[in-house]
Amino acid sequence: MDVYLFLIAISLVLFFCSFVLHHVNPTSLFTGLAILLFILSVGLIFFATLLNHFERFTFWLIVPIAIFFLILAVFWLFILVIMVFVNTRAVLKRERFSIGNLLPLFSLIGFVVLELILFLLQHYYGDVRFVKMMLVFIHSTISYIILLFSLYTFTAIYYKWMPTFKKIDYILILGSGLIKDQVTPLLAGRIDAGMQFFKKQKVKPTIIVCGGKGADENISEAEAMKKYIVENYESDLPIYLENQSTTTEENIQFAEKVVQEQDQRDLKKANVAIATSTYHLLRAGKLAQQLGIRAFGIGGKTKLYYIPTAFIREFIGYIVLKKRTNILIVSFLLLFAIISNLF
């Protein structure tokens, strides 16, 4: 009983932390961590209850799960290599050839080469103090990046499915490029997601389509997006055009100016939803949060094969976005490596 009470108390504390963090900053990785720990604590209570009342059933339930994770622990690198090669092949077959589309493959090759170098250093020069220090630093940095990526992934999933019960005042639909004057399938997915959300609202929000005119585009993204909405949904809708931006941050900044000009209203004090591709949601939400705008996320459909490539690019973008924090943490890891090899 004491164990149950302890687990329940931990769950309640984690639920309270999750609730507070969700309302303060839903895009924070600490929010994702608190929610993940809360889910794990509830899972522990569930399994403890099963074990206490249905011991035999719980045993047969745990065994296949344990076997699965054991296989994953032993063959994870082999599985990862196969998945990355299959995904890269699918992307190159369906999308244009570019360095960005090869990012998962390059990341994997870099990781494997680094691990091989570390193994050789450990084997031949493992007793050298400087080498030992560098091994500790590199391994701890790799562990930090893996942990960061795991938390980023979970928080991104949560942010996509995060519920909202507030009346939304504005829906920002972010651009992603055109083919001449036509929206791409990726951009259409963003618009469709925003419009489906719009149709569900009892009090209709104002739609803001965001995106300027590229060098190889005949019209601005905002104009093409409005045209798509008029042709596929309704012609008489409250739509504002933000047609100057070239980046996600500018999408949000210039949309704020549009709202000030059109409605004499501060977007920071409004309830905002951002419609973009699912893989892009969390970083867009973080950029909005940094600009003082707390936004609800609407994820547009993305082809499954394209998600790993795009998500890795977004994660790298997140590392750059939080470069000061990450540099500070990596510096602490270096200091730890130095101190640990002085004694």
Q: Identify the pLDDT of residue 298.
A: 92
Task: Using a cut of 0.75, tell me whether the model's pTM lies above it.
Answer: yes
pLDDT category at 36 given cuts 50, 70, 90 is very high
- Please compute the mean of the pLDDT values over residues 118-127 and round it to a whole number: 88
Average pLDDT for residues 146-152, to the nearest whole number? 93
**pLDDT tens across 245-286, in order?**
989 999 999 999 999 999 999 999 999 999 999 999 999 999
Average pLDDT of the chain is 88
Confidence band of 96 (pLDDT split at 50, 70, 90): low
Between 279 and 236, the higher pLDDT residue: 279
User: How does residue 101 score in pLDDT terms, banded at 50, 70 and 90?
Assistant: confident
Q: What HEC string does the chain produce?
A: CHHHHHHHHHHHHHHHHHHHHHHHCCCCHHHHHHHHHHHHHHHHHHHHHHHHHCHHHHHHHHHHHHHHHHHHHHHHHHHHHHHHHHHHHHHHHHCCCCCHHHHHHHHHHHHHHHHHHHHHHHHHHCCCHHHHHHHHHHHHHHHHHHHHHHHHHHHHHHHHHCCCCCCCCEEEEECCCEECCEECHHHHHHHHHHHHHHHHCCCCCEEEEECCCCCCCCCCHHHHHHHHHHHHCCCCCCEEEECCCCCHHHHHHHHHHHHHHHHCCCHHHCCEEEEEEHHHHHHHHHHHHHCCCCEEEEEECCCHHHHHHHHHHHHHHHHHHCHHHHHHHHHHHHHHHHHHCCC
**Mean pLDDT for the stretch of residues 91-95:** 77
Percent of the chain with pLDDT over 90: 51
Q: Calculate what percentage of the chain has a pLDDT beyond 70.
A: 99
Instruction: Using pLDDT thresholds of 50, 70 and 90, give the confidence band for residue 83.
Output: confident
Query: What mean pLDDT do residues 65-74 have?
Result: 84
The answer, yes or no, to whether residue 184 has pLDDT greater than 90, is no
**Mean pLDDT in residue range 39-63:** 83
